[in-house]
Amino acid sequence: MTVKAYGAYAGDKPLEPLNIDRRTTQAHDVQIDIAYCGVCHSDLHQVRGEWAGTQFPCVPGHEIVGRVAAVGSHVSDFRPGDLVGIGCIVDSCKHCEECDVGLENYCDGMTGTYNFPTADAPGYTLGGYSQQIVVHERYVLRIRHPEEQLAAVAPLLCAGITTYSPLRHWGAGPGKKVGIVGIGGLGHMGIKLAHAMGAHVVAFTTSESKREAARLLGADETVVSHNAEEMKAHAKSFDLIINTVAAAHDLDMFVTLLKRDGTMALVGAPSSPHASPNVMNLITKRRSIAGSMIGGIPETQQMLDFCAEHGIVSDIELIGADQINESYERMLKGDVKYRFVIDNSTLN
Ligand code: NAP
Ligand code: ZN
């Protein structure tokens, strides 16, 4: 089946309309008409070749929502017409230690939604900037939000789960002080989720203009990280900091804000490495710097249900496919409140 998509033929070329093939629906497959797809900073890193190994043409997009168009003969949990989502994972080995416990995101054989090897043409996966996608039922998520919120649900499939998972893993909740660094797509979801979990939330931003916005998102306090005095006031006080920044920066300025046994979980994935942190800052208070990658399929469903229950969606700017290139430039400037979402009907 040939469908319309938007992608790039090279890292230094803009994205443009192209046609791609989707496999015929197999027994365990769900075929989805994509309604909306979020624009993640990872899409930009990948399609511009900032991360190694991009295959071209590259069709990004892993914040996918839409309706089931058809199901394979062995699929019983989904029916045509159901509202569903696809995140960053479209396959995994299904039998390793990680898959067995629903942590497919840490399976060595995980197949990402774009730019990962697959038996389907053209030999690597193509993402959600497209009209349709065909995915094994195991990786299909159910959406329980009202349909009119569908576009704003899309970013939950990556930005939502990538912040939800470390917040849960490191125990964000009442009595815990949680920092969220960077108020972009991931960060704004991190603020909403940590607030809904009952933590005391402090947002860190480089943009003075986002101070008031962070409060509206649910931050109890906001710190402009360039301001040394403001930073000092929070020294040795955090249980957990989730760092979403998409560029290399000084990690020590945040490590020193952790209290004893505190953890900073890095989720931002810059293309160049951070300078080595000062080990003494870790040793002297038994602090940790950790990493976290998206979340497994069961936890992603749990996150979607938590968001439906608490009325949480992303703050979005809806765009047509012909605005994708412009949206990348604006994302690089931090000029988005707080996630661009593509209306996939404009791919026609
Ligand atoms: P985004 O919307 O561009 O947000 C990143 C935010 O970081 C910006 O809004 C800005 O916030 C801050 N920032 C950017 N450049 C900065 C700099 N040089 N110094 C300090 N702060 C800076 O990006 P996103 O979609 O949230 O993604 C963030 C990162 O997470 C990307 O690297 C992406 O690839 C990665 N990611 C990782 C995973 C995972 O599984 N670990 C999943 C998805 C995405 P302020 O204006 O508030 O400072
Ligand atoms: Zn993403």
- Point out the ligand 1 atom lying closest to the alpha carbon of residue 207: 46
pLDDT per residue over 59-90, tens digit each? 999 999 999 999 999 999 999 999 999 999 99
The token pair at 8 is 């790039």
Q: Determine the CATH number of domain 2-158+295-347.
A: 3.90.180.10
Domain(s) of CATH 3.90.180.10: residues in the chain: 2-158+295-347
Percent of the residues in the chain that have a pLDDT greater than 90, as a whole number:
99
Give the least confident one: 95-104, 187-196, 206-215, 305-314.
206-215
Q: What is the mean predicted confidence (pLDDT) over 255-272? A: 97
Q: What is the rounded distance in angstroms from the CA atom of residue 89 to the CA atom of residue 138?
A: 10
Q: Is 190 in the pocket of ligand 1 (CB under 6 A)?
A: no
SS3 182: coil
Is the distance from CB of 175 to CB of 194 less than 8 angstroms? no
Q: Cβ contacts of residue 3 below 8 Å, gap of 6+?
A: 19, 20, 21, 22, 130, 131, 132
Q: Is 42 in the pocket of ligand 1 (CB under 6 A)?
A: yes
Average pLDDT along the chain: 97
The token pair at 28 is 């365990």
The neighbour count for residue 45, using CB atoms within 10 Å, is 17
The token pair at 135 is 């995915």
Task: Assess whether pLDDT exceeds 90 at residue 348.
Answer: no
Ligand nearest the Cα of residue 157 is 2
pLDDT per residue over 281-325, tens digit each? 999 999 999 999 999 999 999 999 999 999 999 999 999 999 999
Q: Is 64 in the pocket of ligand 1 (CB under 6 A)?
A: no
Distance 41 CA to ligand 1 centre (A): 7
Q: Is 225 in the pocket of ligand 1 (CB under 6 A)?
A: no
- Point out the ligand 1 atom lying closest to the alpha carbon of residue 269: 32
Classify domain 160-291 at the CATH topology level.
Answer: Rossmann fold (3.40.50)
Task: Assess whether pLDDT exceeds 90 at residue 8.
Answer: yes
Structure-derived torsion over alpha carbons of residues 146, 183, 347, 10, reported in degrees to the nearest 10? -150
Q: How confident is the model at residue 31 (pLDDT cuts 50, 70, 90)?
A: very high
Q: What is the rounded distance in angstroms from the CA atom of residue 160 to the CA atom of residue 143?
A: 13
Q: Cβ contacts of residue 4 below 8 Å, gap of 6+?
A: 17, 18, 19, 130, 131, 347, 348
Is the distance from CB of 85 to CB of 156 less than 8 angstroms? yes
Is the distance from CB of 110 to CB of 91 less than 8 angstroms? yes
pTM for this prediction? 0.98
Reported residue count of the chain is 348
Q: What is the mean predicted confidence (pLDDT) over 221-231? A: 97
Residue of the CA atom closest to atom 39 of ligand 1: 293
Distance 281 CA to ligand 2 centre (A): 30
Domain(s) of CATH 3.40.50.720: residues in the chain: 160-291
pLDDT per residue over 199-218, tens digit each? 999 999 999 999 999 999 99
